[in-house]
A and B are shown apart, each in its own frame.
Chain A
Amino acid sequence: MIPAFLPELVLLGGALVLFAISLGNGRAVLARRAVLFVSLATLAASAAALGETSTLFSGAYRVDAFSQVLKLTLSAGFVLVVLAGGRLPDIRVDVHPEYHFFLTTSVTGLVMLVSCVELITLVVALELASFPLYLMVPMRRERPGQRVQMESAIKYILFGVAANGVMFFGMSYLFGLTGTTSIPGIMAKLAGATGASPAGSDALPLGVSPWAIAGLSLMFCGIYYKLAVFPFHFWAPDVYQGASNETAALISSLPKVGAVAVLARFASLAPPEHATLAQVFVLLSAASMFYGNLVALVQTDLKRLLGFSSIAHAGYALLGFVALDADGLRAALYYIAGYLVMILAAFTVASRVSRDGTNVAIQDLSGLHRRSPLLALTLLVSMFALAGVPPFVGFTGKLTLLSAALANGHLTLVILAVLNSAIAIYYYLGVVREAFFRDASDVSPIPLDFPTRLLCVLLVALIVALGVAPEAVLARLSAAVTALGLVGG
């Protein structure tokens, strides 16, 4: 009999071990091995606990189909992030154990986040996931004249704290309206008739009162910040650029999965019959797509380009929320899981092409197909996947999103989304152009160690497999979304 919260236990234990390791000096290699072991153990634990269902801590923490499939996704992502980090060339060696400790702590927060069904627990988990990231950004090695990581870290924290403040404010509205912090409790109250509604009308459910809408909208802001949805995106390109390649790989991938998961939990509170929230999603989605894609067109730094593209992808993910139905949420979760793999592939290439951890300009990629065919292939697949070209997961994900949005009649938004695909292809193709079509003067081969080669093959295989054979994943996600218990059914 395994405990339902085995993955959390493994992660907490791992974090404690890493903390102990960080107390000594010169233990970078040991810490690296330990974090790899912890990530693999977490993956195994999540797989073992996949079918568990349980309710813990007086209903504040729920282990169900939804949480378990996301825990599996997150822990798989954890392994990939650890592999992508490699030897952390751009982090000072003496803080490697601390870096790995923070990494594990952040993943612990995310893994707990997807199980939280109570607002205060959820906030604690969210902060546990966020604060280590704030610390990891400035851990980048300092170079003469380069302290951009400090600026990035400050921006990251300030925006994060401000967004959290707005989120707490929204939560206080919901608490005030319903008198409970439990999400199922809030859901039941919002769906019920308006006994205590300030509006006073008795026919409509409480969920459609202006106060509830305002509370939900404000609460979503904290998540929009995590996802980097326009206009909560300002930190993303700067943090991607300022953080080391490995940290940026982490920030761009795992927290987005957590954010979409929480947004799916919150969205299950929103009454589908009320159009206001859906309209907000439509507006934010369209604005994010256009802003991210248009600004990405003129970028020259690869990480900054990926930063703006992440804003556009947050917009695509929001397409799944405009319908506020099960198909849409499933599509958003599937898309973000695919995005995790695609963006990690892109950052893996960036971190291996970079010379001792500096940022990679798009021009530095020229001739990559001669320097390292495997990296070039990984880059090609990840760029075309991000652009939404079949048969990769980016296409299948976009197809599920568009189909879910169109099923609810959002034709205009769907057309805007495909127009954005057409815009985005230009800058993704610009990256491919450098790597494949441009002949470079520098043809020194890039040596790859075995874990990197394994990682590249794994990522390419995942991008293709998730795109071509998504049935198993979609079925699991359907079950997961059902476990959310949507208001609309």
Chain B
Amino acid sequence: MTTPISSPGGLPILTILIFSPLVAAAVAMLLRSERLLKAWTLAFTTGAAIFSFALYAGFDIRTAEFQFRETAAWIPALNIRYDVGIDGLSLLLVLLSTLVMPICVLVSWRAITVRVKEFMVSLLVMETAMLGIFCALDFILFFVFWEAMLIPMALLIGVWGGPRKIYAALKFFIYTMAGSVMLLVAILALYFWDPNHRTFSIPELMGRNYGVSFQCWVFLAFALSFAIKVPMVPFHTWLPAAHVEAPTAGSVLLASILLKMGAYGFLRLCLPVTPHATHVFMPWVLGFSVAAILYGGLASLAQSDMKKIVAYSSVAHMGFVTLGTFALFLWGPGSSGGFLSDAMDPRGMGLEGAILQMVNHGVTAGALFICVGFAYERLHSRELSDAAGLGKRMPIYAFFLGAFCLSSMAFPGTNNFIGEFLTLAAGFKVSTWMVLCIVPGIVIAAAYNLRMLQTVAYGGTANPAHEGIRDLSAREILSLAPLFALVVWVGLNPAPFARVLHATVAHLLEQVRAGAPFSP
């Protein structure tokens, strides 16, 4: 560590944000009382969430440069640096991560009864790994966080999970680990590409004039690990198992943050580092995205377990994210006067839509998993039929579930509408036929969401098993309220969220255009 950490504001905000959860975890290990432990974790994660808004406040929306950059030598012998920084894309995901953490603690308050200390420590270690992934600008640093995140997540599923937790935890771990071994080879190949300037720095490895076949191999190695994480359709089978068996907080983390890591990988690494290969594989990824939207929707419609309904709907929603990411049309009119604000380049619609959709899905799917978790705590069953008519006993619950189901089906005025609209608009520019194929997927989304909402809120006659069930407590309302606020806020006024993306997306488009194989 020879070079000192340099940060424009003087205070190394990102380093504090990334590593303070580890300190908090060390403190948590010393606490004896369970109540104190929970209170400490909640207080810390809330404090971190508030602290992270310093990033939004200090963020300069005019530049696509990485901000709050801190860099220092880490392992000079191997040319590895500690290098963190954020742009608009990472900013939103960092904020989403810090926001989700206190909610995870809140929903675990009563649900976790054994080994509470280890649970909270795992959550805090997860926070470090998640934030690290979104901030890392050195490939090895990125990879370290990428893999280190597996250990606490596997523990969350495997120790505190449901009946088939062992199967789910192993499948999750092995799938993700196996997917990312080639990522390491690709990283090393990029490192050795230029013998005169070997570097692991992500920004420096962008925009290099790699050969086409080299790009394609690197893209495939990247795409395999990211596609497993997203998950794209042929690689999604770990997801239902992991979601269903994980405790509620684990499901929320998986849905809200972990799936975003795959999409983040595509946007941060595949597009700018291998732009030519991105064009080569664009039709394939778009095809898989359409398949994910249709298959995820149909699979969701066929489930009777509420957690599986939400899990498969995640597959479909993430299909929109990859669709928006790869629906690239680069040489259309770049006039001002877009849908969201004057500053937006309409050619960046798909990318902005994809990024907003990442946040939206994080909010909505996380909230739906929490709703299912609350029902499970009361009924000890996740079967949709057992929950039929629950809304009669729990009006507040029914209200929240209704709001999130509407959001999940992209009802106008909710957050998902904005994201899906943008991605589909970009999709139209690429291929009308493709979007026509997606239309049934949108109808199916309405079907499975309304089916769940209808059954829970209005379904069935008075169920004797529901006697004595109480509506949501203040703690439970508190855990859903911020997510509900975001659903409405993004739905009605997406500008504060989209604003930070314009410069980043314009720069990303420029990078992809520069590396494209053809020009008009």
A residues near B (Cβ < 8 Å) are 369, 373, 380, 384, 389-391, 395-396, 399-400, 402-403, 406-407, 411, 414-415, 418-419, 421-422, 425-426, 429, 432-433, 436-438, 469-471, 474-475, 478
Provide the residues of chain A in CB contact with B189, threshold 8 Å.
406, 411
Size category, B interface: 35 or more
Provide the residues of chain B in CB contact with A432, threshold 8 Å.
154
Which residue of B75, B76, B178, B192 contacts A425 across the interface (Cβ within 8 Å)? B178
Taking A389-B151, A414-B188, A418-B185 as contacts, is the C-beta distance between A437 and B78 under 8 angstroms?
A: no
Is the Cβ of B77 less than 8 Å from the Cβ of A390?
no
Is the Cβ of B169 less than 8 Å from the Cβ of A418?
no
Is the Cβ of A471 less than 8 Å from the Cβ of B77?
yes
Instruction: Look across to chain B and name the residue whose beta carbon is closest to the beta carbon of A407.
Output: B192
Q: How would you classify the secondary structure of chain B's contact residues: helix, strand, loop or mixed?
A: helix
Provide the residues of chain B in CB contact with A471, threshold 8 Å.
1, 74-77
Taking A390-B144, A390-B148 as contacts, is the C-beta distance between A474 and B169 under 8 angstroms?
A: no
Is the Cβ of B158 less than 8 Å from the Cβ of A390?
no
Q: Residue B170 at the A interface, CB < 8 A?
A: yes
Q: Residue B497 at the A interface, CB < 8 A?
A: no
Bound Cα distance A478, B178 (Å): 32
Taking A399-B140, A425-B173, A437-B165 as contacts, is the C-beta distance between A389 and B78 under 8 angstroms?
A: no
Bound Cα distance A419, B75 (Å): 25
Which residue of A369, A396, A406 contacts B188 across the interface (Cβ within 8 Å)? A406
Q: Residue B191 at the A interface, CB < 8 A?
A: yes
The 10 tightest CB contacts between A and B, nearest first, are A474-B77, A437-B158, A418-B181, A390-B144, A422-B178, A437-B166, A422-B181, A406-B188, A425-B177, A390-B147
Q: Residue B396 at the A interface, CB < 8 A?
A: no
Bound Cα distance A71, B174 (Å): 38
Is the Cβ of B166 less than 8 Å from the Cβ of A433?
yes
Provide the residues of chain B in CB contact with A438, threshold 8 Å.
166
Provide the residues of chain A in CB contact with B140, threshold 8 Å.
399
Instruction: Look across to chain A and name the residue whose beta carbon is closest to the beta carbon of B177.
Output: A425
Q: Count chain A CB atoms within 10 A of each CB in B145, B173, B184 and give the residue with the most.
A: B184
Q: How would you classify the secondary structure of chain A's contact residues: helix, strand, loop or mixed?
A: helix
Q: Residue B159 at the A interface, CB < 8 A?
A: yes
Provide the residues of chain A in CB contact with B145, threshold 8 Å.
390
Is the Cβ of A437 less than 8 Å from the Cβ of B177?
no
Is the Cβ of B159 less than 8 Å from the Cβ of A389?
no
Is the Cβ of A418 less than 8 Å from the Cβ of B148?
no
Instruction: Look across to chain B and name the residue whose beta carbon is closest to the beta carbon of A402.
Output: B188
Provide the residues of chain B in CB contact with A407, threshold 8 Å.
192
Q: Residue B150 at the A interface, CB < 8 A?
A: yes
Which residue of A406, A415, A419 contacts B192 across the interface (Cβ within 8 Å)? A406
Taking A390-B148, A470-B75, A474-B77 as contacts, is the C-beta distance between A429 and B188 under 8 angstroms?
A: no
Taking A403-B191, A422-B177 as contacts, is the C-beta distance between A470 and B77 under 8 angstroms?
A: yes
Bound Cα distance A369, B170 (Å): 17
Bound Cα distance A91, B150 (Å): 40
Bound Cα distance A418, B170 (Å): 19
Bound Cα distance A373, B115 (Å): 10
Q: Residue B280 at the A interface, CB < 8 A?
A: no
Q: B residues 183-218 with Cβ under 8 Å of A?
A: 184-185, 188-189, 191-192
Which residue of B77, B147, B173 contacts A395 across the interface (Cβ within 8 Å)? B147
Bound Cα distance A407, B188 (Å): 9
